[in-house]
Structure 1
Amino acid sequence: MIADDDLPPEDPAAALRLIDEQRASAARQFEPDPRAYYWPWGLAWLIGFGLHFLYFSPGDAPLVDMPSWLPLTTLFVLLTAAAVFTAVAGAQAYGQVTGESARRGAWYGWSWGLGFLTLFVIAGRVSDSLPSDLVGLLWSALAVGLTGILHMAGGAIWLDRRLFLLGIWITVVNVLGVIAGPGWHALVVAVAGGGGMLLAGTLGWLHRKGRP
């Protein structure tokens, strides 16, 4: 015998509402919390590039006395931690997804890895030919620039306007930082780039939270 709760609603409007609710529930189940994607990277940029600016400042002396290895080491450690954190969050959210969506995600992940491998090879090859102040600018500008491009590519693949706009923002911030020059680039990326990621994660979470 079929219970009353198992019967489909007789009202077409109620049936449509039920379908919308089930779709939203499924989307929330498989869509990771935007904070898990944006906040780790935003904090890594804010702290890592912030330390880089404090030590490799535009002036002749560091603004804050610290070991010379600390800014770069901190940045790499934080970026690695952010990559691991977001990879785990993505695996938990999309681990059961198969088909075309799974292939898009896998290929997009490979694009990040191969893109940064190419960046490291090229930057490492030409770094010895540049002054020390331009070496840091080259590495950071290439890394931030590639990040902006891949964000725009991800937004185009999944038709995610927020992700695409974040990629545009990162690209503009990177260009302005390069124009400002060594030292200033780190400050611009730390505040505007890292802050932009933190804001994107917060807005995405609020939008997800307010979704019926």
Structure 2
Amino acid sequence: MSQDQTGPERTPADTPPEDDAPVDIAAMLALSTQQVRRVEDIFARPTISLVLIWGVAWFVGFLVLWSASDQNPWFQTPEAPAGIVFGSLMVGGIISSIVIGSGMSRGIQGAQRVQGTLYGVSWAVGCTAPGFLGGALLANGMPAESAALFFPAAYALVVGLLYLAGGAIWRDRIMYSLGVWTILVGVIAPYFGTPGNTLVMAFAGGGGFLVYGAILLVLRRRALSVHGRSDDRRATKPGER
């Protein structure tokens, strides 16, 4: 009796698909890096906006308050308009923080979305709290001169703590350092009395925000330029060079 030597017949399921390509590790790494950059940029843009908004609000607002005193050798701003300008700038900063913060993590999913949203809302909550606390103290007899020392210091401490939290969350040493600096400004400014504390808050506080915002803008543009050239080189095929 003859025996079939051809062996068992192979089925389509036993045959590896021909269109299975080997995993492109470089492409996967490039995609992962691109996604990380996208997330970083999503957080960078609103952060820069918040820093610059509060930098302008503090620099202009506290300078206006200082100009309402007799310490300004060039001109003097009436107290009522100065208070209105300062209050409007602070309210504008709080509203901007709410709007920007609520959309800070738009387009991101997962834990990072929750982090971004909570951090953005924290700005609005934190910057609103000193106003209510100070109002309660005024209602219970806090002198106006003490209030002029309390409010700037309280805002500086809150903002400084927010920057400390942000720097810790995103491991941003520059943001964390700005938080330390802002807290120091808030603690030191009252020692200059009134209206000297407003001048300290304007230049050391608001000026510090503006410098930090400028640094962030430069770093973001540099990163976009470097990553753009890198992506272009990666997308260029050898035969196209």
* Structure 1 pair 62–71 and aligned structure 2 pair: CA distance change class (3 A): farther
- The aligned residue for residue 160 of structure 2 is 148
Q: Does structure 1 conserve the Cα–Cα contact (< 8 Å) formed by 2:97 and 2:120?
A: no
| Correspondence for 2:146 | 134
Please report how far the alpha carbon of residue 125 of structure 1 lies from its aligned counterpart in structure 2 after TM superposition. Answer: 2.3
Q: Give secondary structure in 2 for the equivalent of 1:94.
A: coil
Are residues 151 and 132 of structure 1, via their aligned partners in 2, closer, same or farther at CA, if it must alter by over 3 Å?
Answer: same
> 1:120-177: CA deviations, max 9, x gaps?
3332222253332222111221122111112112211222222111111111112221
**In the TM superposition, what is the alpha-carbon distance from 1:46 to its structure 2 partner?**
0.6
Q: Residue 53 of structure 2 corresponds to which residue in structure 1?
A: 40
User: Which moved further from structure 2: 131-140 or 195-204?
Assistant: 131-140
Q: Is the 8 A contact 1:47 1:190 kept in 2?
A: yes
In terms of mean alpha carbon deviation, does 135-144 or 87-96 score higher? 87-96
5+ residue gaps, structure 2, are 1-20, 228-241
Letter in 2 for 1:54: S
Aligned CA distance change for structure 1 residues 124 and 201 (closer, same or farther; 3 Å) = same
Letter matched to residue 104 of structure 1:
Q
TM-score under structure 2 length normalisation: 0.70
Q: Which stretch of the first structure deviates more once superposed, 126-135 or 181-190?
A: 126-135
TM-score (norm 1): 0.79
2:66 to 39, 45, 53: 53
Measure, in 2, the Cα distance between the counterparts of 1:165 and 1:145.
14
Give per-residue Cα distances to partners, 1:53-110, cap 9 Å, x unaligned.
11135x5x99733332222221221223233344444455521223222222333344
Residues 174 and 185 in structure 1, CA contact (< 8 A), matched pair in contact too: no
Q: Once the two structures are aligned, what percentage of the paired residues are identical? A: 26
Q: Residue 179 of structure 1: CA displacement?
A: 1.4
Residue 94 in structure 1 maps to residue 85 in structure 2: no
For residue 31 of structure 1, give the secondary structure of its aligned residue in structure 2.
helix
Aligned AA (1:197): F
1:184 to 196, 211, 214: 196
Measured in 1, the distance between the counterparts of 2:91 and 2:50 equals 13
Decide which of 176, 179, 185 is 1:173's aligned counterpart: 185
> Secondary structure of 1:69's partner?
helix
Q: CA 1:100–1:90 in 2, change beyond 3 Å: closer, same or farther?
A: same
Superposed displacement of residue 17, structure 1: 7.3
Q: 1:18 aligns with which of 22, 30, 37?
A: 30
Out of 157, 171, 180, which is 2:169 matched to?
Answer: 157
| Whole-Å separation in 1 of the counterparts to 2:32 and 2:113 | 24
Once the two structures are overlaid, the 10-residue window that deviates more, 147-156 or 126-135, is 126-135
Task: Return the offset for 1:45.
Answer: 0.5
The equivalences for 1:82-121 within 5 A come to 82-121=93-132
What value does the CA root-mean-square deviation take over the aligned residues? 2.9
Gaps of 5+ in 1: 1-6
Structure exhibiting the larger radius of gyration computed from Cα positions: 2
8 Å CA contact retained: 1:174, 1:189? yes
In the other structure, the counterpart of 2:213 is 201
Contact 2:60 2:202 (C-alpha < 8 Å) held by counterparts: yes
Structure 1 CA distance, aligned partners of 2:171 and 2:210? 21
